[in-house]
């Protein structure tokens, strides 16, 4: 599969340049894709950001040299891109739990982060329903949180908090919607360190003001790949697990075989009640995309 081959090509590039100054753009270029799309794909498939992976590989090789050679700490620090022994020691101890000088001693435990290898996994037992949609931009009002580690732990806690403290109803009130109306989730400001912002909100009607305790987000005109998660859910835990599975399949199955790549812009989770009883709901995942460039 071409995408897998290109991802492996990017890993080869990283391994060949661990002693050089390389950026995410360089690595994405080796995969013949945009920096933005590569970062999203890499993190979704591996659980690491690109910069985390490069740092862990460098510190793995540095530990091997410290333990297996007579090399000086300062020389090894410079070899793997650290300008001072102090910055190297801080990063080294964060990963390995010991200082570089301790690593030179015998019988000291060190961590090894192996080179990643991407492989084709034949699936296909369950189809993925999707559609390509041209969507007009809008202004959104809501409450946001910075997601630092695990989105599917931090976000449910955030959603429960704004539901219980009345913020959810306040957002609906400002948008002229009935209390209890479901809000949409917006992911944006993806950073190289893996953090992102998540806003729970809804479209703001023209002329409405944004209260000080809420924030606004501008969503541009965009093309989206929309993935249906059309099963109904009776509780948040059941829905959360299914939506997590949809996100995983998008990056592990759909993007590698599709003629699209992700572009910058908010991703959305759109929630809808299935009936007036408000007991069951469904969700759609919206990801901004563009047709892949043909590389020659």
pLDDT value, residue 122: 52
Look up the pTM and report it.
0.80
Pairing of strands 281-291, 196-203: unpaired
> DSSP strand E in 174-237: where?
184-188, 196-203, 215-219, 222-233
Q: Is the pLDDT of residue 199 over 90?
A: yes
Domains 2-103 and 130-291 agree in fold: no
pLDDT value, residue 214: 95
* H or E element in which residue 41 lies: helix 35-46
Instruction: Express each pLDDT in 75-104 by its tens digit.
Output: 999 999 999 999 999 999 999 999 999 998
Residue 98 contacts residue 197 (beta carbons within 8 Å) = no
CATH 1.10.10.60 fits 2-103, yes or no: yes
pLDDT value, residue 240: 58
pLDDT band at 147 (very low <50, low <70, confident <90, very high): very high
pLDDT value, residue 233: 47
Instruction: Express each pLDDT in 250-275 by its tens digit.
Output: 998 888 888 899 999 999 999 887 77
**Selection from 101-105, 141-145, 273-277 with the highest mean pLDDT:** 141-145
CA distance 93 to 10: 28
Angle at 208 between CA 207 and CA 212, to 5 degrees: 135
Q: b/e string for 91-128 if b means 16 or more Cβ within 10 A?
A: bbeebbebbbeebbeeeeebeebeebebeeeeeeeeee
Q: How many residues are there in the chain?
A: 296
Domain ranges (residues) in the chain: 2-103, 130-291
Q: Is the pLDDT of residue 149 over 70?
A: yes
Instruction: Express each pLDDT in 172-196 by its tens digit.
Output: 999 999 988 999 999 999 888 888 9
Q: Is the pLDDT of residue 292 over 90?
A: no
pLDDT value, residue 123: 56
pLDDT value, residue 239: 56
2-16 and 35-46 are packed helices; what angle lies between their axes, rounded to 10 degrees? 90
Q: What top-level class would CATH report for the domain 130-291?
A: alpha beta
CA distance 98 to 78: 19
Residue with the larger pLDDT of the pair 8 and 296: 8
Span of 152-156, 176-180, 203-207 with lowest mean pLDDT: 152-156
Instruction: Express each pLDDT in 35-47 by its tens digit.
Output: 999 999 998 888 8
């Amino acid at each position: 599969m071409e995408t897998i081959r290109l991802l492996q090509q990017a890993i080869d590039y990283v391994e060949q340049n661990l002693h050089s100054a390389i950026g995410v753009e360089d690595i994405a270029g080796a995969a013949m894709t945009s920096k933005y799309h590569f970062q999203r794909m890499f993190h979704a498939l591996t659980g690491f950001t690109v910069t985390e992976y490069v740092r862990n590989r460098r510190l793995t090789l540095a530990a091997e040299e410290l333990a297996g050679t007579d090399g000086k700490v300062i020389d090894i620090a410079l070899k793997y891109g650290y300008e001072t022994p102090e910055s190297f020691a801080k990063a080294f101890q964060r990963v390995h739990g010991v200082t570089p000088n301790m690593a030179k001693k015998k019988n000291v435990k060190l961590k090894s982060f192996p080179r990643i290898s991407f492989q084709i996994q034949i699936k296909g037992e369950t189809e993925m329903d999707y559609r390509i949609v041209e969507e007009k931009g809008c202004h959104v009002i809501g409450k946001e949180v910075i997601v630092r580690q695990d989105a599917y732990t931090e976000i449910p806690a955030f959603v429960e908090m704004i539901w219980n403290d009345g913020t959810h109803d306040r957002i609906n009130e400002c948008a002229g919607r009935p209390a209890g109306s479901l809000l949409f989730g917006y992911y944006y400001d993806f950073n190289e360190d893996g953090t992102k912002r998540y806003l729970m909100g809804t479209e703001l009607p023209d002329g409405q003001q944004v209260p000080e305790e809420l924030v606004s987000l501008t969503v541009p005109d965009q093309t989206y790949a929309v993935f249906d998660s059309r099963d109904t859910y009776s509780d948040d835990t059941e829905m959360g697990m299914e939506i997590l599975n949809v996100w995983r399949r998008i990056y592990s199955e759909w993007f590698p075989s599709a003629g699209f790549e992700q572009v910058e812009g908010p991703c959305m989770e759109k929630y809808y009640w299935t009936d007036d009883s408000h007991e069951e709901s469904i969700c759609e995942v919206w990801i901004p995309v563009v047709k892949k460039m043909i590389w020659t």
